A = this chain, B = another copy of it.
């Protein structure tokens, strides 16, 4: 299934001209999400949307979803980008725009066996999410999952972080979802760029050598192996904010985080858990205690993790430390692509027994962490980047790894907690009401737990990801999160 009708007349010439215009080189940060991938680590992020198909005129199935995506993909360049790697790895790879995206490959379907419960959905999503994307195609997949209890349909999407930064992620969601249940397909742009031909190996090699001539030191750095070298090249290619944060970390060695059972090397497997907390409960706590919504989310996580650590007889005396991704995008950068994210490290008061004291302690800890970012406009700290969040998580984790290697500094944090404000109004996917939107994020060695939260309508949707060898009972943490929120709201 091709997106655009074939245009046999003069296409080669047009494609060649277009190639000059549209081919784009990945930044060092974007490429890092490709380079990090190995037999255990993947560089993609995902999301699971629960739909109520009863509001849609047509069934939500494989065929209607292919039509729906086909109508929107002209407005979604990152879903058409194919990777062209430079032979011998002498330069950063390029994207080229391919209009012959094979939707039969990208859009897939399966069903849950009866009864189609939450545990079965979790097993399927965990298994699909653990698998790497195929680099011979644009780096995304979409699964229509039928057979859920109550006649619901789930849509799992997997997008590679090398192609999807925060801006692109929001654009994709806002293009695929509509506040209008009748969801007319967007008109394709009047002037569609011609499809680009895949550059030959020789062309890519030539580009690579040309790039080398321009940056003689670049390839040497790229070819250096090891975390310390990786980090040097990361700094070389920009990512200034993290570079500053790192300098600050070196000047003021961070308080080491207590080492927990999930702060270890992971396997290739993943497990995932999800749950929902009413936004009204969170707001009630926020208003009665005079803190932020994010403070409440962090305090809920602290209470849940405390209980889980007690269950496993490994509650440390010191508080846990959480990495919290924040956007550092300024107004001037609003239209630029690339990962404009950094991170704060905040204490999670798992050592405190009183739930209210935990909220106060989080509030104080977050205020201190924000002061470390005083040079940045305070308002920006509230704008959490949705899809970019794991980027910061990963980069900080890698930085931590390289610091450990270089300076034997201890683990700076135990887990990532990312809170992404989302839309309040109901959204529709092919006419079907979106009931929930659960994040499926990423973990890495030493950072075996990620909690990402997205608000939507009157709920906060939690998605937890780990590795079953590190946290076999991940669903217990989400149960404790839901219970902690209810307990705090009842105080």
A144 close to B (CB within 8 Å): yes
Task: Identify which of A111, A120, A123, A124 gathers the most chain B CB atoms within 10 Å of its CB.
Answer: A111
The answer to whether A134 and B62 have CB atoms under 8 Å apart is: no
The answer to whether A61 and B113 have CB atoms under 8 Å apart is: yes
The answer to whether A111 and B108 have CB atoms under 8 Å apart is: no
The answer to whether A113 and B111 have CB atoms under 8 Å apart is: yes
The answer to whether B127 and A108 have CB atoms under 8 Å apart is: yes
A357 close to B (CB within 8 Å): no
Closest to A131 in B: B131
Q: How far is the CA of A146 from the CA of B146 in the complex (A)?
A: 12
Count of identical protomers in the assembly: 2
Contact partner of A113 among B105, B110, B134, CB < 8 A?
B110
Q: What is the number of residues of chain A that contact chain B, defined by CB distance less than 8 Å?
A: 23
The answer to whether B269 and A113 have CB atoms under 8 Å apart is: no
A147 close to B (CB within 8 Å): yes
How far, in Å, is A273 (CB) from chain B's closest CB? 15
- Which B residues lie within 8 Å of A134 (CB)? 268-269
A330 close to B (CB within 8 Å): no
- A63-116: which have CB < 8 Å to B? 105, 108-114
How far, in Å, is A172 (CB) from chain B's closest CB? 23
- Which B residues lie within 8 Å of A231 (CB)? none
- Which B residues lie within 8 Å of A62 (CB)? 113
How far, in Å, is A421 (CB) from chain B's closest CB? 34
Contact partner of A147 among B105, B120, B131, B147, CB < 8 A?
B147
A173 close to B (CB within 8 Å): no
- Which B residues lie within 8 Å of A113 (CB)? 61-62, 109-111, 144, 146-147
A136 close to B (CB within 8 Å): yes
Q: How far is the CA of A102 from the CA of B453 in the complex (A)?
A: 31
A292 close to B (CB within 8 Å): no
Q: How far is the CA of A124 from the CA of B146 in the complex (A)?
A: 14
- Which B residues lie within 8 Å of A109 (CB)? 113, 120
A219 close to B (CB within 8 Å): no
A267 close to B (CB within 8 Å): yes
- A123-180: which have CB < 8 Å to B? 123-124, 127, 131, 134, 136, 144, 146-147
- Which B residues lie within 8 Å of A110 (CB)? 110-113, 124
How far, in Å, is A173 (CB) from chain B's closest CB? 24
Known: A110-B110, A110-B112. A136 touches B61 (CB 8 A): no
- Which B residues lie within 8 Å of A269 (CB)? 105, 134
Closest to A469 in B: B136
- Which B residues lie within 8 Å of A144 (CB)? 113
How far, in Å, is A138 (CB) from chain B's closest CB? 15
Instruction: List 16 extra interface pairs beyond A109-B120, A111-B114, A131-B131, CB under 8 A.
Output: A61-B113, A62-B113, A105-B269, A108-B123, A110-B110, A110-B111, A110-B112, A110-B113, A111-B146, A113-B144, A113-B146, A113-B147, A114-B146, A134-B269, A136-B267, A136-B268
Question: 22 interchain pairs (CB within 8 A)?
Answer: A61-B113, A62-B113, A108-B127, A109-B113, A109-B120, A110-B110, A110-B111, A110-B112, A110-B124, A111-B111, A111-B113, A111-B114, A111-B146, A113-B144, A113-B146, A113-B147, A114-B146, A131-B131, A134-B268, A134-B269, A136-B268, A147-B147
The 8 closest A-B pairs by CB, nearest first: A111-B111, A113-B146, A111-B113, A109-B113, A110-B110, A111-B147, A136-B267, A111-B112
